[in-house]
Structure 1
Amino acid sequence: MDSNVGSTDKLARIVVGAVAGLLSLATLAGAVAAPTVVAPLAGVVAVLMLGTAFTNRCAVYSLLGISTR
């Protein structure tokens, strides 16, 4: 799979991943009053966003033929 995530897209993914990770941790710690389902969903979003940002590859982009690189 070729790299298909550009620098601006990568930065956005890092920011979204970090915010989602913090939301997940804050929900688990009880600092944020949110439904219990928010913590695992935000955690999954964080892992996916950070994973695609650091590998410069997005499987969804590949399936759709998109490249921001």
Structure 2
Amino acid sequence: MKTNMGIFDRVLRMLIAVAIVILYFTHFISGTVAVVLLVVTGIFILTSFIGFCPLYRTFGLHTNKSIT
């Protein structure tokens, strides 16, 4: 499994994940929307750490500059 995510993409996903967690703990979001967004947050964090996004591979995209 080769990395297909660049640094900018990984950092952006982490920032979005942190923002969603903050919104959840400040009770700005709740209910079903909160659960769905927390699942998305988990996916964002996981893909950011491993540097691989399955959807990118499916659509043939990559933001990693080292891949040609």
Please indicate the TM-score interval, normalised by the length of the shorter structure.
Answer: 0.7 to 0.9
Which consecutive aligned stretches of 4+ in structure 1 deviate over 3 angstroms post-superposition? none
Structure 1 equivalent of residue 15 of structure 2: 15
In 1, Cα distance between equivalents of 2:30 and 2:25? 13
Is contact 1:10–1:56 with CA below 8 Å preserved after alignment? Answer: yes
Normalised TM-score (structure 1): 0.80
Q: Greater CA deviation, 49-58 or 36-45?
A: 36-45
Q: Show structure 2 runs of 5+ residues with no match.
A: none
Identity score, percent: 25
Q: Show structure 1 runs of 5+ residues with no match.
A: none
Q: Does 1:61 align with 2:56?
A: yes
RMSD value over aligned CA atoms? Answer: 1.4
In 2, Cα distance between equivalents of 1:17 and 1:49? 7
Is contact 1:20–1:45 with CA below 8 Å preserved after alignment? Answer: no
In 2, Cα distance between equivalents of 1:61 and 1:9? 12
Residue type at the aligned position of 1:20: I
Normalised TM-score (structure 2): 0.81
Aligned-pair distance for 1:22? 2.2
The 3-state SS of whatever aligns with 1:37 is: helix
